[in-house]
Amino acid sequence: MKRRFSKLIAVLAAAGSTIAVPLHAAGPTSADLMNDAESTGDVLSYGLGPWQQRFSPLDTLNADNVSKLVPAFAASLGGEKQRGQEAQPLVYDGTIYVTGSYSRLFAFDARTGEKKWEYNARLPDAIMPCCDVVNRGAAIHGDKVIFATLDAHLIALNRETGKVVWNKKLADYQAGYSATAAPLIVKDMVITGNSGGEFGIIGEVQARNVDTGELIWSRPTIEGHMGMLNGRENGVTGKTGATWPGDMWKTGGGATWLGGTYDPGTNLLFFGTGNPAPWNSHLRPGDNLYTSSTLAIDADTGVIKWHYQTTPHDGWDFDGVNEFIPFDATMNGKPMKLGAKADRNGYFYVLDRSNGKLLGAHKFVMETTWANGINLKTGRPNYVDANRPGAPAGPDKGKSVFASPSFLGGKNWMPMAYSQDTGLFYVPSNDWGMDIWNEPIAYKKGAAYLGAGFTIRPIAEDHIGALRAMDPKTGKIVWEYKNAAPLWGGVLTTHGNLVFTGTPEGYLKAFDAKTGKELWKFQTGSGVVGSPITWMQDGEQYVAVMSGWGGAVPLWGGEVAKTFKEISQGGMLWVFKLPK
Amino acid sequence: MAGDSRRSFLTGLAGALGALALPAALRPAPLLAAPLEKVRELGVLRVGLYADNRPWSWDRDGTPSGIDVELARVLAEHLGVRADIALFPADEELSDDLRNVVWRGGLLGFQRCDVMLHVPFDRQIMAQEDNVVFLAPYYRESFGAACAADIGDCEAPPVQMHGKRLAAELDSIPDFYLLGSFGGILARDVTHLPSGYAAVAALGEDKADFAVASRAQIEAALADHPDAAIRKRKGPLPAMLSPGWDIGIAVKENSRSLGFVLEEEIMAMAADGRMKTIFARHGVEWQPALAAQPSAS
Q: Across the interface, do B241 and A248 touch by the CB < 8 Å criterion?
A: no
pTM: 0.91
Count the domains in chain B.
Answer: 2
Q: According to DSSP H, which parts of chain B are helical?
A: 2-10, 13-26, 29-42, 67-79, 94-97, 123-128, 173-180, 196-201, 215-224, 256-272, 274-281
Q: Is the pLDDT assigned to residue A326 strictly greater than 80? A: yes
Would you say A320 and A309 are in contact if contact means Cβ atoms under 8 Å apart? yes
- What DSSP element (H or E) covers A30? helix A30-34
CA distances from B155 to B146, B214, B233 (A): 9, 17, 6
What pLDDT is attached to residue A282?
87
Contacts of residue B180 in chain A, CB cutoff 8 Å?
Answer: 280, 282-283, 391-392
What pLDDT is attached to residue A398?
64
Flag whether B239 is in a domain.
no
Q: Is the pLDDT assigned to residue B192 strictly greater than 70? A: yes
Q: Is the pLDDT assigned to residue A325 strictly greater than 90? A: yes
For residue A147, what pLDDT band results from cuts at 50, 70 and 90? very high
Would you say B186 and B177 are in contact if contact means Cβ atoms under 8 Å apart? no
Flag whether B105 is in a domain.
yes
Domain co-membership, B14 together with B90: yes
What pLDDT is attached to residue A394?
53
For residue A461, what pLDDT band results from cuts at 50, 70 and 90? very high
Flag whether B39 is in a domain.
yes
Domain co-membership, B189 together with B221: yes
pLDDT in tens, A412-438: 999 999 999 999 999 999 999 999 887
| Residues of A involved in catalysis | 317
* Among B88, B94, B190, beta carbon nearest to A443: B94
Flag whether B168 is in a domain.
yes
Domain co-membership, B135 together with B148: no
How far apart (Å, rounded) are the C-alpha atoms in residues A124 and A288? 33
Flag whether B175 is in a domain.
yes
Domain co-membership, B47 together with B65: yes
What pLDDT is attached to residue A580?
87
Q: Are strands B115-121 and B44-50 parallel, antiparallel or unpaired?
A: parallel
Q: Is the pLDDT assigned to residue A20 strictly greater than 80? A: no
Distance from CA of B24 to the nearest CA of A (A): 30
Which residues, including other chains, have CB under 8 Å from residue A232's CB and lie 6 or more apart? Answer: none
Domain co-membership, B106 together with B213: no
Least confident of A116-130, A419-433, A509-523, B251-265: A116-130
What pLDDT is attached to residue A393?
62
What pLDDT is attached to residue B161?
95
How far apart (Å, rounded) are the C-alpha atoms in residues A381 and A313? 11
Would you say A503 and A545 are in contact if contact means Cβ atoms under 8 Å apart? no
What pLDDT is attached to residue A78?
84
As annotated, the binding site of A includes: 86, 136, 180, 198, 275, 317, 412-413
Can you list the domains of chain A with their CATH numbers? 1-34+137-257+259-321 (2.140.10.10)
What average pLDDT score do residues B24-47 get? 72
Q: Across the interface, do A247 and B106 touch by the CB < 8 Å criterion?
A: no
Domain co-membership, B10 together with B100: yes
DSSP states along A169-187: E-S-GGGTEE--SPPEEET
Flag whether B62 is in a domain.
yes
Flag whether B237 is in a domain.
no
What pLDDT is attached to residue A396?
55
Q: Are strands B166-169 and B190-193 parallel, antiparallel or unpaired?
A: parallel
Distance from CA of A126 to the nearest CA of B (A): 6
DSSP assigned state of A487: P
Domain co-membership, B127 together with B271: yes
Provide, rounded to the nearest whole percent, the portion of chain A with pLDDT above 70. 94
Q: Across the interface, do A280 and B176 touch by the CB < 8 Å criterion?
A: yes
- Name the closest residue on chain A to residue B214, using Cα atoms: A447
DSSP assigned state of A125: T
Averaged pLDDT score across all residues of chain B: 89
- Name the closest residue on chain A to residue B178, using Cα atoms: A283
| Chain A to chain B Cβ contacts (< 8 Å) | 137
What pLDDT is attached to residue A23?
54
Averaged pLDDT score across all residues of chain A: 92
Q: What residues 226-285 of chain B have any CB closer than 8 A to a CB of chain A? A: 239, 241-245, 247
Q: Is the pLDDT assigned to residue B26 strictly greater than 80? A: no
Q: Burial level of A236, CB count in 10 A (0-12/13-18/19+)? A: middle
What average pLDDT score do residues B159-176 get? 95
Would you say B100 and B119 are in contact if contact means Cβ atoms under 8 Å apart? no
Least confident of A22-36, A538-552, B41-55, B99-113: A22-36
pLDDT in tens, A181-205: 999 999 999 999 999 866 689 999 9
pLDDT in tens, B228-248: 999 999 999 999 989 999 999
Last residue of a domain, one of B211, B232, B253: B232
For residue B12, what pLDDT band results from cuts at 50, 70 and 90? very low
AA identity, residue A356: G
DSSP assigned state of B102: I
| Domain span at B66 | 2-141+244-296
Name the residue among A252, A254, A193, A408 with its Cα closest to residue A318.
Answer: A408
Which residues, including other chains, have CB under 8 Å from residue B221's CB and lie 6 or more apart? Answer: B146, B197, B200, B201, B203, B204, B213, B230
Domain co-membership, B110 together with B134: yes
The CATH number given to whatever domain includes residue B153 is 3.40.190.10
AA identity, residue B135: L
pLDDT in tens, A288-322: 999 999 999 999 999 999 999 999 999 898 999 99
Domain co-membership, B14 together with B38: yes
* Among A198, A283, A440, beta carbon nearest to B179: A283
What pLDDT is attached to residue A481?
98
Q: What residues 200-219 of chain B have any CB closer than 8 A to a CB of chain A? A: 214
How far apart (Å, rounded) are the C-alpha atoms in residues A385 and A387? 5
What pLDDT is attached to residue B212?
98
Domain co-membership, B174 together with B269: no
Contacts of residue A175 in chain B, CB cutoff 8 Å?
Answer: none
How far apart (Å, rounded) are the C-alpha atoms in residues B40 and B78? 11
pLDDT in tens, A79-88: 788 899 999 9
Q: Across the interface, do A447 and B172 touch by the CB < 8 Å criterion?
A: yes
pLDDT in tens, A348-390: 999 999 999 999 999 999 999 999 999 999 999 999 988 888 7
ipTM: 0.87
B125 in contact with A, Cβ within 8 Å:
yes
